[in-house]
Amino acid sequence: MAKEFSRKQRVASQIQKELATLIQQELKDPRLGMVTVSAVEIASDLRNAKVYVTVFAHTCPAEEVVQILNSAAGFLRHALAKRIDLRVSPVLFFVHDVSVERGATLNALINDAIASQRKPTEK
């Protein structure tokens, strides 16, 4: 029997989908560039949501993108309340997700280690 997802996980998934659409289509700030909502953690009472974002097109630093999104959090919360039927719309807190950058760094380190091991044996 498959394990059912909790309501908290379903709501977080729906918030992630809707915020990704809202950020791409409704926010008109040219400094944002390419922003992806990578994950949403929501409190057990569904009143607060921590939204992890990844910045790909670096038109401005990631910290500035997070500040822009946090300043637009009220607008996004209001638009999200129109799209998702919840008793209370969660307060949104945006955080820069560094997992993609960390993964790229680890991948480069692994590739360097493999390359350094191959060089002495190839001679």
pLDDT of residue 1: 47
Q: What is the pLDDT of residues 41-77, one digit of tens each?
A: 999 888 999 999 988 866 788 888 899 999 999 999 9
- What residue ranges define each of the domains in the chain, with the CATH number in brackets? 7-122 (3.30.300.20)
pLDDT computed for residue 51 by the predictor:
95
Q: Name the pairing type of β-strands 91-96 and 35-42.
A: unpaired
Residue-wise pLDDT tens digits, 75-90: 999 999 999 988 889 9
Is 103 or 10 the better-scoring residue by pLDDT?
A: 10
